[in-house]
Structure 1
Amino acid sequence: MAFYTGNHEAGIAYQLQEELRWYQRVENMLPRNLVIHRNDDNLTAQELFLKEHESMLIEARNWIKDTAQSCSTVAVLVAAVVYAAAYSTPGGTDDRGLPKFLGSSNFLFFTLTDVVALGSSLASVVMFLSILTSSFQIKDFYKSLLRKLSLGFAFLSLSLISTMLAFSATVVITMKLEKTNWALILIYCCCVVSYCGVYIIWKALL
């Protein structure tokens, strides 16, 4: 416990996970009769572990709940934006109601990135909601909760990057850029901006 005093950079839930891994390694090395042995306070090793980490468990619950709620809000907003973008065709439609740039590679790129953004944002919402509906037992912090949190972060990052790429494709279509080099430069710039944005969000959440 003293090792983690004042060291909360990785998040209290990850610190609790490290404590659980340490406990599991020690338990696996001991004979069974020592695992169920009771100390002078009539507590087993597991009961003593739960008692000593009770405050850390409460902090970890609050931390992961707040993180999941904040990230799910962002994911819902991203899903709403890309869903609306799917129905507002870049460049408009012709007399038959078909997109003017239907045969363009840029339009195909926009469609694919928009679909990826929508799917990944909804997947991240599912991950964060599964965290919020969890029982938050101490055993859940060993693998389940933090695995879901990592998957949620991954899907949310993918949705943000895909959204930026879809936006760059929309700009290319709207401006009717015919030079591929300029289009690629614009896409690369958006990739860099999206990566920086995802990195900032990641550091802010942790």
Structure 2
Amino acid sequence: MMLQMVAGVDEAGRGPLAGPVVAAAVILPDGHGIKGLDDSKKLTAKKRAALETEILDKAYYYIALCSEAEIDSINILQATMLAMTRAADGLSCRPDHILVDGNRLPKWGHQAEAVIGGDAIHPCISAASILAKQYRDRMMVAAAERYPQYGWERNKGYGTAEHMAALRQYGPTPLHRKSFAPVAQFALL
């Protein structure tokens, strides 16, 4: 019997007011030996970084994103689905089946199932969750160097009090999602 190649897909960054939405697709090889995989939000930054290194070294993966402009153009749900599709389609080997974290699937040609809470259940989704979060977090830390007043190195673009105060004072940047209500109200000022 031939083993099935199963990929996990997850995203990071649906809720923030700034930055892209990032998705990762990961196929873990049999006997990968990566210990401690879990939902990226449950892991410390140090543990995520260590796991990311192991995943990148041992797994097949692809990371994709949808920009702020794409999010504003097609909405965050559709942008998330598009980023997931780009990630799955970018894998160097086509999976037999894909497990997607959440309750919806992109409209794609892959055999797949949505798994609510899948990032805490299936190691391949956990690995995708970690890669997507690490990639996006690095992007936001880098963006914080260009726009230090928003505190993105701390809040990663989420609408914290610090971020909202900066939006009120300085207005939105090109990295803000103009279609999101908390940003749109300051874009008109």
Which structure is higher in RCO with an 8 Å CA cutoff and minimum separation 6? 2
Q: TM-score by structure 1 length?
A: 0.24
Hey, which of these two has a bigger chunk of helix by percent?
1
Q: TM-score by structure 2 length?
A: 0.26
Higher Rg of the two aligned structures: 1
